[in-house]
Structures are given as structure tokens and as C-alpha cells.
Amino acid sequence: MKSFKGAAHCWSDVMHNPTWDEMRKRSEPVAGKGGGNDPALANAQKMRGAAKSEGPAKSRKGDRVSWKYGKGTYSGTCINDSCSRARTENGKVKILPKNRK
């Protein structure tokens, strides 16, 4: 049995000594006391915004699109859900460049 009387919730004599107690006193105003991961999780969600579930991506099949190639601007109709391919007005299938921002 240990002779050191630690906190009621554990037998750790390392984390419940005067040095660690002093460290906790300095960090409590910033980190908060107790609560486990709940305060950190709430802060992280506040900082980045809660993830929004929008469901599956909307199909762009059949939408009209235009793209630039060389000096010209061309247009066509999407032929797949992700709109990575389009059919031009004269019937050719073109592979579209990825969206650049």
C-alpha cells in the first residue's frame, strides 16, 4: 500500500504532488477545470463551425457548362454526375479541367 495520500479518485502520487498542483493553478484560468475533453471539443467546434450534413452531392448531369480553352470559351452539357465530361453542341465529348480557384 502507498503511504502517500493522493486524490480520492486515484492512487497517483506523481500527478498529485505540490509541483503539479501549482501547475494546475496556473493553467486552470486558460484551460478550464475538469470536464475532460468536453471544453476542448466545444471550443474546437466553435472555432471551425459545426460540420453541416448536406447529404449526397447534387447531380450536375444535364446542366449547361462553359469552359475556357486557349483564347476561346466553349460550352456544352454535362454527361455525368460530377460534370467532369461534357458533350459539345456538335456532339464531341470533352473532358473538362478540374475547378480551379
Write the pLDDT tens digit of every residue in 47-79.
887 566 666 777 888 999 998 888 999 999 999
Is residue 79 within 8 A of residue 86, CB to CB? The reply is: yes
pLDDT value of position 92: 93
Spans of all domains in the chain: 18-48, 64-95
Give the residue among 37, 44, 4, 38 at the shortest CA–CA distance from 20.
Answer: 4
Q: Residue 41 pLDDT > 60, yes or no? A: yes
Q: What is the pTM of this model?
A: 0.42
Which residues, including other chains, have CB under 8 Å from residue 16's CB and lie 6 or more apart?
6, 7, 10
